[in-house]
Amino acid sequence: MEPAKTIHNNVKYSPIFLAIFVLILASALSSANAKIHEHEFVVEATPVKRLCKTHNSITVNGQYPGPTLEINNGDTLVVKVTNKARYNVTIHWHGVRQMRTGWADGPEFVTSVPDCPGGSYTYRFTVQGQEGTLWWHAHSSWLRATVYGALIIRPREGEPYPFPKPKRETPILLGEWWDANPIDVVRQATRTGGAPNVSDAYTINGQPGDLYKCSSKDTTIVPIHAGETNLLRVINAALNQPLFFTVANHKLTVVGADASYLKPFTTKVLILGPGQTTDVLITGDQPPSRYYMAARAYQSAQNAAFDNTTTTAILEYKSPNHHNKHSHHRAKGVKNKTKPIMPPLPAYNDTNAVTSFSKSFRSPRKVEVPTEIDQSLFFTVGLGIKKCPKNFGPKRCQGPINGTRFTASMNNVSFVLPNNVSILQAHHLGIPGVFTTDFPGKPPVKFDYTGNVSRSLWQPVPGTKAHKLEFGSRVQIVLQDTSIVTPENHPIHLHGYDFYIVAEGFGNFDPKKDTAKFNLVDPPLRNTVAVPVNGWAVIRFVADNPGAWLLHCHLDVHIGWGLATVLLVENGVGKLQSIEPPPVDLPLC
């Protein structure tokens, strides 16, 4: 047998070839490091005591808030959800792009029917190209009042943060608590046609804090050591209220929002609309003591009732011998009796503080914003009223004007969810009669959106209408608040996408004048935009993710009234530009 021959190849590789090879190798190594994280969520009633009373609250795995999920960029999540509660349930992975995996997105009757009591469904998806803080929550009725938790996405293994690595990281989940069953609260409002009762408390990591009855001993404690810099991952999980958040005597350096990094800036106060997340660095540079973290409402709607209470947690300096790398989210019976220092908070209606904060957001570097636009859309957002149906008694028509019921709309269409098959299923399987694709790309009637609006425009048309987008189209949407009933700051969330917020302002959007204000260099990338009260915001994105994607106000009372639509992004060419087939265990409730 002949010995094996060694072949010498004298081919010279160009620098470009080598660069491409290195990139492919890096990508392969990165994929090799990607992990699959498997979790089980059991949705069930659990006794939860707050404000001196115990309620049988719907929780995940008996926890309120629910479990924090931690992954790296590029990892896959497989979460089996078993419903042992008495309500239908779905889980939404808020802000996850869900590239081609819309079946796992979660809004009931949009991407799937809900999971019935006794049923189960496994959500499978990969998180790609996102780093920072997102969260998950129920997307059925008002279950998300107690069914929610943090989703932390760290850089790929071996890759650093774009800022000095913090000593510790603490999720700060801002929530809203009713001293009642939240499902009963929304059902009562649905019966009466009026606004639902406001919450009884706000919470930080599930605890109301020192300023509420029966709450002091369970107040959330957030540890810090003198001289160290920590990362706070702040999430507004409240149902119906934008919130101010601050820490006494400490500055907050904002470094990210909605799982995208930002050009760092320093502030004393954060403002988060429901659904939004903000990552901030905080340094232990004050005399060792105890300092309140506090959150309370930003209220932009005139004459509307709101919860005007304040929730607190305590930033507590620890001595080095108590050092623990892992954050303590809660501590009971703290021996340190030093009264914490209370921070000032903006006035409830301080829109100037909100505007100043939102104008500070920039991407860390120049970004690729779509400059040529294929679909230019104009969506009005706001409230409305509908006349009392003839078969309804006065108790069922307690809206803002006698004999009316509250409603809400986009472009004069009040969105109605299907009730037996999801929009994505109907689209994918060609089931007729579930929805139409005639949602208008601009308001049917042009009017003075932020002025005195004629009462003839106060009553929208109900419908299950979607707006079609071609795969790959470059999209601009102007979101315009209206003064119907009352103007308000609306947090508008788009499922399945991040988008660039290229501009925002007050009054009616004027394309001739306001286009000059667009930031097409380094606008922030978000998944939820706070449309200013009596104002507008402009977002841009490329429609590169096929599926049925809900666009809605993240004030839960407003989505229930119809402030939503669906963007139907069609498949492109070939498998990689098409939505995956539906999973075999898709719920059939």
Residue 31: per-residue pLDDT = 58
Please state, for a pLDDT cut of 70, what percent of the chain lies above it.
92
DSSP alpha helix (H) spans, 141-272: 182-192
Q: Decide if 89 contacts 120 (C-beta within 8 A).
A: no
| Cα-based distances in Å from 161 to 97, 270, 390 | 21, 21, 61
Q: pLDDT tens, 496-507?
A: 999 999 999 999
Q: Quote the CA–CA distance of 110 and 418 in Å, as a whole number.
A: 8
Q: pLDDT band at residue 9, thresholds of 50, 70 and 90?
A: very low
Q: pLDDT band at residue 334, thresholds of 50, 70 and 90?
A: very low
Which residue do the tokens 């109907």 mark?
426
Strand partners, 505: 536
Instruction: Please list the residue range(s) of the chain that carry CATH number 2.60.40.420.
Output: 32-158, 163-319+337-362, 375-577
CATH superfamily of 32-158: Cupredoxins -  blue copper proteins (2.60.40.420)
Over 463-491, what HEC string results?
ECEEEEECCCCEEEEEEEECCCCCCCCEE
Which residue do the tokens 């009026």 mark?
194
Q: pLDDT band at residue 346, thresholds of 50, 70 and 90?
A: very high
Mean pLDDT of 340-354: 98
Strand partners, 112: 108
Residue 319: per-residue pLDDT = 81
Which residue do the tokens 């060609």 mark?
430
Q: Decide if 128 contacts 100 (C-beta within 8 A).
A: no
Q: Quote the CA–CA distance of 569 and 112 in Å, as a whole number.
A: 16
CATH superfamily of 375-577: Cupredoxins -  blue copper proteins (2.60.40.420)
Q: pLDDT tens, 287-322?
A: 999 999 999 999 999 989 999 999 999 999 998 654
Q: Quote the CA–CA distance of 257 and 234 in Å, as a whole number.
A: 9
Which residue do the tokens 């006035």 mark?
347
Kindly state the DSSP code that residue 522 receives in the 8-state scheme. Answer: S
Contacts of 278 (CB under 8 A, 6+ apart): 133, 234, 254, 256, 257, 270, 272
Q: Decide if 135 contacts 144 (C-beta within 8 A).
A: no
Residue 337: per-residue pLDDT = 74
Over 90: is that where the pLDDT of 325 sits?
no
Structure-token pair, residue 336: 């340190």
Structure-token pair, residue 393: 């008694």
Over 60: is that where the pLDDT of 279 sits?
yes
Which residue do the tokens 């028509």 mark?
397
Which residue do the tokens 């999209």 mark?
475
Which residue type is seen at 428?
Answer: H
Q: pLDDT band at residue 336, thresholds of 50, 70 and 90?
A: low
Over 90: is that where the pLDDT of 554 sits?
yes
Q: What angle do CA 543, 547, 552 make, to 5 degrees?
A: 80
Residue 575, SS3 per DSSP: helix
Q: Quote the CA–CA distance of 132 and 95 in Å, as a whole number.
A: 11
Q: Say which CATH topology domain 163-319+337-362 has.
A: Immunoglobulin-like (2.60.40)
Over 70: is that where the pLDDT of 445 sits?
yes
Over 90: is that where the pLDDT of 95 sits?
yes
Over 80: is that where the pLDDT of 283 sits?
yes
DSSP alpha helix (H) spans, 88-206: 182-192
Kindly report the backbone phi and psi dihedral angles of residue 352, in degrees, each rounded to the nearest multiple of 5, phi listed first. Answer: -60, -40
Strand partners, 290: 316
Strand partners, 386: 405
Average predicted confidence (pLDDT) for the chain: 92
Which residue do the tokens 């079609």 mark?
468
Q: pLDDT tens, 128-182?
A: 999 999 999 999 999 999 999 999 999 999 999 999 999 999 999 999 999 999 9
Contacts of 158 (CB under 8 A, 6+ apart): 33
Containing 566, the helix (H) or strand (E) segment is strand 564-569
Kindly report the backbone phi and psi dihedral angles of residue 587, in degrees, each rounded to the nearest multiple of 5, phi listed first. Answer: -60, 145
Over 80: is that where the pLDDT of 324 sits?
no
Contacts of 479 (CB under 8 A, 6+ apart): 379, 381, 490, 492, 529, 531, 536, 537, 538, 539
Q: Quote the CA–CA distance of 266 and 250 in Å, as a whole number.
A: 10
Residue 13: per-residue pLDDT = 44
Residue 588: per-residue pLDDT = 76
DSSP string, 111-132: TBPPBPTT-EEEEEEE--S--E
Over 383-438, what HEC string results?
EEEEECCCCCCHHHCECCCCCEEEEEEECCEEECCCCCCCHHHHHHHCCCCCCECC
Q: Decide if 221 contacts 314 (C-beta within 8 A).
A: yes
Q: pLDDT tens, 26-80?
A: 444 455 689 999 999 999 999 999 999 999 999 999 999 999 999 999 999 999 9
Mean pLDDT of 197-207: 98
Mean pLDDT of 543-550: 98
Q: 150-181 burial by CB neighbour count: b if 16+ within 10 A, else e?
A: bbbbeebeeeebebeebbbbbbbbbbbbbeeb
Q: Quote the CA–CA distance of 482 and 134 in Å, as a whole number.
A: 29
